[in-house]
Amino acid sequence: MKLINKTIDQCLNRSSGAYKGYLSPKIPKQFTIPIIEEVSNRIESIPGLIDRRLKRDVPGLRFAKPLIIFDDITRAIAGEKIASQFKTMGAHPTTEIVSSNSISEIERILDSGLKRFAGLEFDCEISSTHIDQKYGAVKCGEKRYDIVYGVGGGSVIDVAKYVAYKLNLPFVSIPTSLANDGFASPFSVINLGQDGTMTLCANTPLAVVVDIDLIKSEDPGYQRRIRSGIGDLLSNLTAVLDWQLADQKNKERYESFSGFQAICGAQLVMNELRTKKDIFYDDHFLETLACSLIASAESMSRYGSSRPASGFEHKLYHAYNVLTDFAPRATHGELVAIGALCSSYAHGKFQDNLREAYMYAGLPVSNKNLADCGIDRKILLKAVSEAQKVKPERYTILEDRGVEKMLSALHEAYPD
């Protein structure tokens, strides 16, 4: 595996640290961007596509022992099909069905990979998290798998990405939902049970393949997922305003290119929302959204932290999450969209553009819409003050103007 790591890095001139879980990716510039980023429809065989691209870009690199992770729903949509395509190609896939992004599911999959190679060694750094304590000390140098595929929505991708990171293996992300930018990011959100959820560093995916035909769905939650993805993307506009503000106040230097990369997709999607009638089933719109979310995730990889895509609005989301015992009825994208509108009023920028875009997309623009998303206004107000406790080192409009100003911005954005 070390030879493969080296080949990938050398052949593609990526920065060091790619797919090496034992090097802390928290050190900026050890993040990389995916080698393969494909957004298309009617992809006949995803393993075939990856094989062809690797043949072209990294001659001699093959993967024959994939672990394919999906859930009960995505197994039928794509998981089993991908496994059988691997078999046709002469590979030996193993499949795992996950039920949640819990730490126990991750341990179960790691354990199943270990049993057949007892006594071998993991290349993991030992840190304070539970899983690191348990697996960081395990001796193992060879693995049952040589690549991990995640086929599914947020939770499946989070589990697969983290398993790949812990096994020090390349990861291929095949999202079946565009509800946020996590499918291409170097982070995993893991459910720690009573301790809530935690965002942990993982490796940037080797490949991100978005098949628009796997995204489109007739199920009742589909339009809400797309709306949420739009919300997560548009919130980059205020995250970058926060970053620029931090730079003005000499708190954190702004990097123009990462900032540009985070917001250019948001601008494109806002334009498309003005002109498209049925965004939910428009291939071109979905492609723009998928590419923009990948660009958003890539801006975080490039910069080395979530800064380009996470400002006050994400602090508000985390605070609301804690106040609702990690079971908010609103989605991540809806909550950050609400925070972004509030932030835009406090900044005095983009408020009209965002409001207009939200109306086209069906994101909340009124008190009634908040209730429709399952938002409790009292908890939302409380979350504004609690947001100070989230990542206090990250300077945003909240730290600059204070809680009172943010509360009045919230009242402006969503009048009683």
Q: Where do contacts with Zn ion occur on this chain (CB under 5 A)? A: 232
Shortest separation between residue 133's beta carbon and Zn ion, angstroms: 28
Shortest separation between residue 324's beta carbon and Zn ion, angstroms: 17
Shortest separation between residue 235's beta carbon and Zn ion, angstroms: 7
The rounded distance, in Å, linking the Cα atoms of 377 and 385 is 13
The rounded distance, in Å, linking the Cα atoms of 32 and 304 is 9
Nearer of residues 37 and 232 to Zn ion, judged by Cβ = 232
Distances from the Cα of 44 to the Cα of 81, 93, 198, 336, angstroms = 10, 18, 36, 35
The rounded distance, in Å, linking the Cα atoms of 341 and 334 is 11
Nearer of residues 38 and 232 to Zn ion, judged by Cβ = 232
Shortest separation between residue 332's beta carbon and Zn ion, angstroms: 6
Shortest separation between residue 74's beta carbon and Zn ion, angstroms: 21
* CB-CB contact of 278 with 362 (8 Å): no
Shortest separation between residue 215's beta carbon and Zn ion, angstroms: 18
The rounded distance, in Å, linking the Cα atoms of 116 and 138 is 13
DSSP 77: I
Question: Count of H helices and E strands in the chain?
Answer: 19, 8
* CB-CB contact of 370 with 411 (8 Å): no
Nearer of residues 61 and 323 to Zn ion, judged by Cβ = 323
Shortest separation between residue 333's beta carbon and Zn ion, angstroms: 7
Dihedral sign, Cα of residue 169, residue 170, residue 176, residue 180: positive
Nearer of residues 168 and 236 to Zn ion, judged by Cβ = 236
Q: Give the angle 313-301-293 at the CA atoms, nearest 5°.
A: 60
- The CA-based diameter of the chain, rounded to the nearest angstrom, is 63
Give the up-direction half-sphere exposure of residue 236: CA atoms within 13 A in the CB hemisphere: 32
Nearer of residues 211 and 232 to Zn ion, judged by Cβ = 232
Helix axes 222-234, 332-347, angle to 10 degrees: 30
Distances from the Cα of 192 to the Cα of 21, 196, 198, angstroms = 21, 5, 7
Shortest separation between residue 369's beta carbon and Zn ion, angstroms: 19
Sole residue written with tokens 């354990």: 111
Nearer of residues 232 and 272 to Zn ion, judged by Cβ = 232
Nearer of residues 232 and 298 to Zn ion, judged by Cβ = 232
Nearer of residues 146 and 242 to Zn ion, judged by Cβ = 242
Shortest separation between residue 232's beta carbon and Zn ion, angstroms: 4
Shortest separation between residue 31's beta carbon and Zn ion, angstroms: 17
Nearer of residues 232 and 386 to Zn ion, judged by Cβ = 232
Nearer of residues 47 and 153 to Zn ion, judged by Cβ = 153
DSSP letters spanning 359-400:
HHHT---SHHHHHHTT--HHHHHHHHHHGGGSSTTS--HHHH
Across 64-111, the runs of DSSP E, i.e. the strands, are 66-70, 94-97
* Closest residue to bound Zn ion by CB: 232
